[in-house]
A and B are shown apart, each in its own frame.
Chain A
Amino acid sequence: MSAPGVSISIHVNGETHSISVQPHHTLLQVLRYDLGLTGSKKCCGEGECGACTVILDGRAVNSCLMLAAEADGSNIVTVEGLERDGQLSAVQRAFLDRGGVQCGFCTPGMIMAAEYLLMNNPHPSEEEIREGLSGNLCRCTGYQGIVEAVQEAAGEKQS
């Protein structure tokens, strides 16, 4: 059975896209394949690993666990939307400084989860950082550098 497309309008990283999407396509698929924003990654596809994390209307969500059609009218920030005038965000910068990136596959999701954490809690404790990133898996197990990067971005550690 082929279903007709669904017309949606989404605001991604400040740009409005009015597009037709397949009803069964996830937001992640549309971001990656329709809009060419391949920063957000598909990994487990089941909400366990967080590699697809984006911020939707101010909340971190797994973009693999929602339909693109559900996002109609929403404001979405992906990892591509963090830099300002060519400058990386504080979190992105800190991931580089602290070696919070190994193979890099979990990095966009980690960074979005970290941005969301700092939006809600600008000065988290180490435990709060670990809790805040607990929906994101790093299979290189490079968690120490990631936690330090978030501490640095929060101004808790000297860069």
Chain B
Amino acid sequence: MLRFEYLRPATLSELFEQLQHYGPTARILAGGTDLLVRLQHASNGVVPVPTGNGGQELNQVRAVIDIKRLEEIPASIRREKQHLIIGARAVMTDIAGQSDVQKFFPALVDAVRVVGSIQIRNRATIAGNICNASPAADTIPALLAFDAVVVLRGPSGERRVPLRDFFLGPGRTVRETAEVVISVELPLPVVAVGSAFGRVTRRKGVDLATINLACALYENGRALFGYGAVGPTPILAVDESGRLCDPSVGDPEREEHLAKLIERATPISDVRSGEDYRRAMLLTMTRRIHRTALDALVTSQKGES
């Protein structure tokens, strides 16, 4: 592997100093399950996939900064007022197993459960998945559909960025060099909601998504669809007509709304799929998860009335 320094800051202020000192040659290690693969590839001269941790600059890395035990960054998943707060050190196994996540955000549970393998989910974090900014990251569509907000902290304080504004391109985000993600916040739904996650892969386990998507349909008429692997960044498509949350709407009208959702998708051809196949699957899968989520919405409305 590449040679680098290993740093384990005990406090946030120490972390900020290190991030400022090393600048773009530092990499934050939360789970490490993606970072170490990329560092290995970089040292083997394998051309890195143009996503995650800034891609080709990886061979310039001089410091790996391990935040796995930095206690000021939470590892907990807890409710606070109207939000569920997923600490940046929380690992995927714990996120998928947490009762509030299961109760309010089932599509996120389904998304987390397809990430890598059990061994990977025991180390990997959602914060890392977001910061790597792979267009194909499996947890991002669901987080988008649930209106996630990223909480960042840097030397000059804290700021909150809606996840939909977080990505700039493959491997690039609005996170500044000296900033770290502290947590990801999900607003707890105040109305009935039905959600679903979908994914197309070449094989069942340990594969990157050809496409992935998730949706959340809210009783008040909002329909949020998150899409991955259909453009340089994951995207969020919103339909507020109310028609996608209404089970009495007929097929032709629903089709019109669904087709509109995916207009912004710009899939490419790559090793996992041709562009045409991606485009076709995009519509098919959009229909499919919409149906599942609509059923879940109806069930949840019945449960509450």
Interface residue ranges, A against B (CB under 8 Å)? 1-3, 6, 23-26, 45-48, 50, 53, 59-62, 64-67, 69-70, 72, 113, 116, 132, 134-136
Contact = CB atoms under 8 A, between A and B. Distances in A.
Nearest to A48: B206
Interface of B is mostly: loop
B119 A3 contact: no
A64 B206 CA distance: 16
A113 B119 contact: yes
A59 B64 CA distance: 23
B120 A62 contact: yes
A62 to B, nearest CB: 5
Q: Which 4 residue pairs are nearest across A and B when measured between Cβ atoms?
A: A135-B117, A23-B6, A59-B122, A24-B1
A45 B36 CA distance: 9
Interface in B63-105: 64, 66, 68, 93
A61 B206 CA distance: 14
Interface string B109-143: 00000001111101100000000000000000000
11 contacts: A3-B3, A23-B3, A24-B39, A47-B33, A60-B118, A61-B122, A65-B119, A67-B6, A134-B204, A135-B205, A136-B117
Contact of B32 (A23, A50, A70, A135): A70
Contact of B3 (A24, A48, A62, A66): A24
A61 B68 CA distance: 14
A134 B117 CA distance: 7
A84 B53 CA distance: 44
A11 B184 CA distance: 33
A27 B204 CA distance: 28
Contacts of B4: 1, 3, 23-24
Nearest to B118: A135
Contacts of A59: 93, 122
Nearest to B39: A24
Contacts of B36: 26, 64-67
Contact of A23 (B64, B116, B123): B64
A62 B205 contact: no
A67 B64 contact: yes
Determine the interface band of chain B, counting residues with CB < 8 A from chain A.
20 to 34
Contact of B122 (A2, A24, A60): A60
Given A26-B36, A65-B37, A70-B32, A47 B119 contact: yes
Nearest to A58: B122
Interface string B18-39: 0000000000010011001101
B270 interface: no
B8 interface: yes
Nearest to B120: A47
B40 A23 contact: no
A65 B123 contact: yes
Contacts of A48: 117, 206
A59 B33 CA distance: 15
A21 B93 CA distance: 29
Contacts of B122: 59-61
A62 B68 contact: no
Contact of B116 (A47, A69, A116): A47
B92 to A, nearest CB: 11
Nearest to B204: A134
Max chain A Cβ within 10 angstroms of own Cβ: one of B2, B36, B64, B118 = B118
Nearest to B94: A59
Contacts of A67: 6, 29, 32, 36, 64, 66
Given A25-B1, A47-B116, 6 more contacts: A24-B4, A47-B33, A61-B123, A62-B33, A65-B36, A134-B205
A58 to B, nearest CB: 9
Contact of A69 (B1, B8, B118): B8
Interface string B221-239: 0000000000000000000
